[in-house]
Structure 1
């Protein structure tokens, strides 16, 4: 059986250790019942302010998405009437990946 890390607890501890004065800024994420992988990416970027291009490229290549996040991205695209190019730029994923997801989920 595969267990999932408690990301809320992990990120709450990181926030308290690194930047406790910014805790209210992250309240939205920490109050959610479960964090999607997209939420984790956002939290990570907000906390660590990753601006280094090399780290952005490296992290982008090693990113993985769960089913909930994939469906969230596709739903976001439909709700905001975005095409694949705009959606891929917004979420920093390839157009081919987005197209593949839409075929897999038949959306």
Structure 2
């Protein structure tokens, strides 16, 4: 069974054209991408609706990340030599979430590596 994601480009383009035409220039770079990640979608939402910090904190618990987004975030940590606390602050995550992701994805990668050794 294939997972279908909503067409966020179309949704946000319609919202911008109908309600916020003065924000087209600010969103053009993000909307021109071939695929929108969760981070891009959240950034678009922030630009269009001018979300405040309190509403972002309220919505923080409803975020969901795809496997590819998690791997990109963990790759960002490795590239920039960040600890879990710094990464969590940068992406507005919990340190426990980062630790859990590392535990899950490092275990999977180690098992793949061991299979290659045999």
- TM-score normalised according to structure 2 size: 0.82
Give the equivalent residue in structure 1 for 2:14: 13
Q: What's the C-alpha RMSD, in Å, of the aligned pairs?
A: 1.5
Q: Which runs of 4+ in 1 moved over 3 A?
A: none
Separation of aligned partners in 2, 1:94 and 1:40: 19
Give the equivalent residue in structure 1 for 2:36: 35
Count residues in correspondence: 106
What residue ranges of structure 2 are gaps of 5+ in the alignment? 110-118
- Say yes or no: does 1:23 pair with 2:24: yes
Q: Which has the higher contact order (CA 8 A, sep 6+)?
A: 1
What residue ranges of structure 1 are gaps of 5+ in the alignment? none
Give the equivalent residue in structure 2 for 1:92: 92
Give the equivalent residue in structure 1 for 2:60: 60
- TM-score normalised according to structure 1 size: 0.90
Paired residues for 1:62-77 under 5 Å: 62-77=62-77
- Cα-to-partner distance string for 1:17-40 (whole Å, 9 max, x where unaligned): 222122121111111111111111
More helix by share: 2
Separation of aligned partners in 2, 1:79 and 1:28: 24
